[in-house]
Amino acid sequence: MSDQEQPQIYLITPPEFELDQFQDRLAATLDAHEVACLRLALATHDEDRIARAADACREIAHARDVAIVIDSHIALAERMGLDGVHLLDGARSVRKARKALGADAIIGAFCAQSRHEGLGAGEAGADYVAFGPAGANTLGDGAQVETELFQWWSEVIEIPVVAEGALDAALIAQLAPITDFFGIGDEIWGHDDPAAALGDLIRAMG
């Protein structure tokens, strides 16, 4: 873990949203809290929809000096002027993404619950590694990251680590000393006031 007092917020968009409505909610949330990075994580494969969302979210993020990355789409990241890409296949595409986007791009890798994938992604040149889901969940086989993985990573590895997935205030309080970023998305977007919901989670860091 770096010398910062508490982890930074790594904001994740919902997998589905109406752009006209989401823009205002995103802007209000970024205005209310300090956010290190925004990740566009749309589930759709419609490239036109993704591009329109990327364009709008980039303007909102960059106006507030917030970096923006996109799930998986290396070519779109470059074309839309985004800051980088978040890879969902562990270490496998890190070198390819770095070659395509260059040394200055942010390249992160989601490594599920695998220390081995995380180490591989770091060796391949990832700027950060994300593990998740951090909390109890009903996705897939219900697997979640052991707290010990974050503990070990924070003590041994210098590459920043993101805890994401099924976070709540209690889990955030527990993981705050041993993670660099909290990836927060679904935890707040279902609320009428996402900015207020994010504030509650930030306060849980202590």
Q: Is 182 inside a domain boundary?
A: yes
Q: How many other CB atoms are there within 10 angstroms of residue 93's CB atom? A: 20
Q: Is 87 inside a domain boundary?
A: yes
Quick one: which of 77, 65, 66 has its CA closest to 41?
Answer: 77
Domain count, the chain: 1
Q: Is 14 inside a domain boundary?
A: yes
Domain CATH number, residue 32: 3.20.20.70
* Cα–Cα dist 196/107, whole Å: 29
Q: Is 2 inside a domain boundary?
A: no
Phi, psi of 82 (to 5 degrees): -85, 170
Q: Is 146 inside a domain boundary?
A: yes
The pTM of this model reads 0.96
pLDDT digit string (tens) for the chain, length 206 residues: 344 579 999 999 999 999 999 999 999 999 999 999 999 999 999 999 999 999 999 999 999 999 999 999 999 999 999 999 999 999 999 999 999 999 999 999 999 999 999 999 999 999 999 999 999 987 778 899 999 999 999 999 999 999 999 999 999 999 999 999 999 999 999 999 999 999 999 999 98
In Å, the largest CA–CA distance within the chain is: 44
- Can you list the positions of beta strands (E) in the chain? 8-12, 37-40, 67-71, 84-87, 106-110, 128-131, 161-164, 181-184
Alpha carbon 3 to its chain centroid, in Å, reads 20
Q: What is the DSSP letter of 192?
A: S
Looking at residue 5, what is its pLDDT?
74
Give the domain range for residue 178: 8-203
* Cα–Cα dist 154/160, whole Å: 8
